[in-house]
Amino acid sequence: MKTKIISYIAGVCLVSSVLFTGCIEETTPTNVVTSETLSGSAKATEALLWAIPAFTNNLGSQSSSYSHWDYGQGSIIRVREVMGEEYTNAASSYNHYNAWQATTNLGDNWATTQFIWNFHWKYIQTTNNLISAVDPESATELQLGYLGVAYAFRASIYLDFARMFEFLSNDKVNSINASGNDVLGLTVPIVDDKLTFEQAYNNPRVPKQQMVEFILSDLNTAEEYLKKAGMNAKLVIVMIKTGRGRSEAEELLEKANGFISEAIKI
């Protein structure tokens, strides 16, 4: 892909704001937030958690003047369905999925492909924002639950992203791309919360096996933090599943535990 992904990493590398001090303590408004501020605030880390599932409905990943198909994860699912011939579209001049259905106009300079590419990078950024903001050594059990969810989401996103862009061996299309590179078996670059700007300038697509190992590593990390979170892991999952805030999720979980206790007595 010719589109540079460096701009999306800006959200991962949270820049510390410049502090001005004097005789009277002042607060200087900025358009950035430090990782210390995020990790030190329960509400801030909760907001980072909500940003992950909220992005599934993002409008305008490819452009601010978004097309009718640029509405997030639901559209990505439909793209895969029409390309795999598991979903049909009636012949119409209003068929916004014709390019994918007919497998035309899907080159690296087409908006149809840029949409899928851009959406996944921005989606991954939401997970990296949370992971980079929370220090597992000083995190509360609830924040460890947040971390576990973030790692699980990142693994899931990369699973979809990698298999959509991996070039598989076939007898119709040559694996040598327009730039003269052999992309056989390559997926997408790995952009995690530790990637620096310097590394981003030379961050090529990785082979399938390397991507598999990265995804498994994220899943193992997710399991580790969710176990450490204990009962809070259930709370986080209830929050994600129901779309409720912490206090409401706690009430639901308490009621559910009550129902389970009563059922056991019966």
Residue 223, pLDDT above cutoff 80: yes
Q: Is 11's pLDDT higher than 50?
A: no
Please state which of the ranges 20-34, 62-76, 84-98 shows the lowest mean pLDDT: 20-34
**Length reported for the chain:** 266
Percent of residues, the chain, with pLDDT higher than 70:
73
pLDDT score recorded for residue 126:
96
Inter-residue contact 134 to 114 (CB < 8 Å): no
Alpha-helical (H) ranges within the chain are 35-40, 42-54, 73-83, 98-102, 111-133, 141-165, 197-200, 208-229, 231-242, 246-265
For the chain, give the mean pLDDT: 80
Quote the CA–CA distance of 74 and 198 in Å, as a whole number: 34
Q: Mean pLDDT throughout 225-250?
A: 74
Instruction: Please state which architecture CATH assigns to domain 6-229.
Output: Alpha Horseshoe (1.25)
- Is residue 59 over pLDDT 80? yes
For tokens 């990698």, name the residue.
162
**This prediction's pTM:** 0.77
Look at residues 253, 176, 185, 229 and name the one whose alpha carbon lies nearest to residue 45. Answer: 229
Rg, the chain, Cα only? 22
Which tens digits make up the pLDDT trace of 83-108? 887 767 666 777 788 888 888 888 88
Phi, psi torsion values for 130, nearest 5 degrees: -70, -45
Domain boundaries, the chain: 6-229, 230-266
- DSSP annotation of 6 reads G
- Residue 14 pLDDT > 70, yes or no? no
